[in-house]
Amino acid sequence: MRKTTRALTAALAAGTLLVAGCGRGGPGGGADAKVSNDKIVLAVLNDQSGVYADLSGKNSIEAVRMAVADFQAKYGDKAVSSDIEVVSADHQNKPDIANSKAQELYDRQQADAILDVPTSSAALAVANVAKAKKKLYFNIGAATTELTGKQCNRYTFHYAYDTYMLANGTGSAVTKQGGENWYIVYPDYAFGQDMEKSFSAAIGAAGGTVVAKDPTPFPNDNFSTFLLKAPGLKPKPDVLGTMQAGGDLVNLVKQYNEFKLREQGIKLSVGLMFITDIHSLGPDAFAGTTFTDAWYWNFDDRNRQWADRFTAKTQTRPSFAHAANYSAATQYLEAVQRAGTDAADAVVGELEGYTYDDMFARNATVRAKDHRVVHDVYLAEVKPKSQVTTEWDYEKILRTIPAAEAFRPESAGGCTL
């Protein structure tokens, strides 16, 4: 039934495009006649100057360019379009700017799909624009489960990770390892609020207790009020659970070490960690910290080969966000190639239910009911500097969490597409 529906959709799209192509008339037909404006435009919308610039930023644009180059090398003159453009914009982590930039990218720059968009409040704003414009949107950098929950829509796909996946891995593992009493600090916006809820639920399900939880300003460079509060809580927490990310996380961990909370018996647990965060402070600042990673560059030869290519272009090792942007751009282009058109509804039909295994997304499925891309993820531990044998080799993978176990069940999110 599904194949029949997909075939019918493709046939209808092809028929529509044939009419459109005839309508244009003249030369320039062939494969290019099947795509709008005679080209495919991929837009990367992210933070290129703020706290998330290192973990994604301009290097994610390079990752998408790599995906385009690889796609063109694979298909040559058989590609659905010979003209594939990559454009970008900086949303400054502000939802109002993200909203206006998304509209500009879709309307004026003719973007067929927007990728990345860290910061959950900005991500939700772009999802609403994608829904209204009926254009594709692949979120990589934001974590809120609302994208595949009550605020899901037909044109938005959540690709790399989310708060449930992070909490399900880290919150459960650390609690079962003996960290039963937690003090959670979280940035006071959609991402942090969702992280707090997901971690509190995972900790409770694993038999632990959240002793206290506090929202913090975002962005923020002074966490002393919260760090000084931790040792005096009753009962004293075993774990400080920080839900900050990027530059905020680096600032918090620097101060955690300055206040010597580890020496006072309060371990550090990081809700969301990127390898760029570890590199900023050095591995000893995070040594022994358990966290959940969506991808690690030094996991196996397949990852290392792509990471080496990325490093040759950027002079840095890739975060999971960089790898996921490459993967999402690749899977979008492959879906357009299968559909024979960039018409959004036809591409959605190709993506829904699609299963694949690529450099980033192992054992992956694009769930049709909520557009959550599920794939294997990894429980990791930060190595001390004494165990680092290669530059940027900061992680020890403790175990692989299978795709089927890593993410929230599709029935639990309340998504109605």
Is the separation of the CB atoms in 47 and 118 below 8 Å? yes
Contact 143, 158 (CB under 8 A): no
Using alpha carbons, select from 363, 323, 371 the residue that is nearest to residue 347: 371
Residue 6 placed within a domain: no
Look up residue 134 and give its two tokens: 């009926």
pLDDT at 28: 33
Query: Would 412 be classed as within a structural domain?
Result: no
CA atoms within 13 A on the CB side of 15: 6
Percentages of the chain per state (helix, strand, coil), in multiples of 5: 45, 20, 35
Evaluate the omega torsion of the peptide bond into residue 95 and state whether it is cis, within 30 degrees of 0: no
Same domain flag for 366 and 312: yes
Where is 95: in which H helix or E strand? helix 95-107
Q: How many separate domains does the chain show?
A: 2
Confidence at residue 282, expressed as pLDDT on a 0 to 100 scale? 95
Calculate helix-pair angle for 190-205, 120-133, nearest 10 degrees. Answer: 110
Q: What is residue 11's predicted lDDT score, i.e. its pLDDT?
A: 41
Residues 118 and 191 in one domain: no
First to last CA, the chain: 19
Side-by-side strand order, sheet with 290-293: 290-293, 377-382, 395-401
Cα–Cα distance for residue pair 379/371, rounded to 1 Å? 24
Kindly state whether residues 301 and 360 are assigned to the same domain: yes
Let me know if residue 109 belongs to a domain.
yes
Single out the residue of 148, 152, 185 nearest to residue 164, CA to CA: 148
- List beta partners, residue 380: 291, 397
CA distance 415 to 212: 31
CA gap 159, 375 in Å, rounded = 9
Rg of the chain's alpha carbons, rounded to an integer? 22
| C-alpha 73, offset from chain centre | 26
pLDDT at site 72? 97
Which residue type, as a one-letter code, is found at position 126? V
CATH number for the domain spanning 227: value is: 3.40.50.2300
Same domain membership, residue 155 and residue 247: no
Asked if 198 and 226 sit in the same domain, the reply is yes
Q: Do residue 181 and residue 272 come from a single domain? A: yes
- Is 228 inside a domain boundary? yes
CA distances from 247 to 183, 189, 204, 275 (A): 21, 16, 29, 12
- Give the position of tokens 């998504």: 415
Cα dihedral 225, 190, 61, 109, rounded to 10, equals -140
One domain for residues 67 and 139: yes
**Nearest 5°: phi and psi at 195?**
-60, -45
**Structural domain includes residue 389:** no
How far apart CA 271 and CA 248 sit, in angstroms, is 12
What pLDDT shows up at residue 24?
Answer: 31
For the chain (length 417 residues), average pLDDT per consecutive 10? Answer: 40 39 33 78 96 93 98 96 97 97 98 97 97 98 96 98 96 94 95 94 97 96 97 97 92 96 95 94 94 98 98 97 98 97 98 98 98 98 96 97 96 95
Burial of 248 (0-12, 13-18, 19+ CB in 10 A): buried
Domain boundary among 229, 263, 293: 293
Residue 3 lies in a domain: no
Q: What was the pLDDT predicted at 246?
A: 86
Which of 246, 266, 293 terminates a domain? The answer is 293
Output the pLDDT for position 361.
98
Domain that holds residue 48: 38-161+297-371
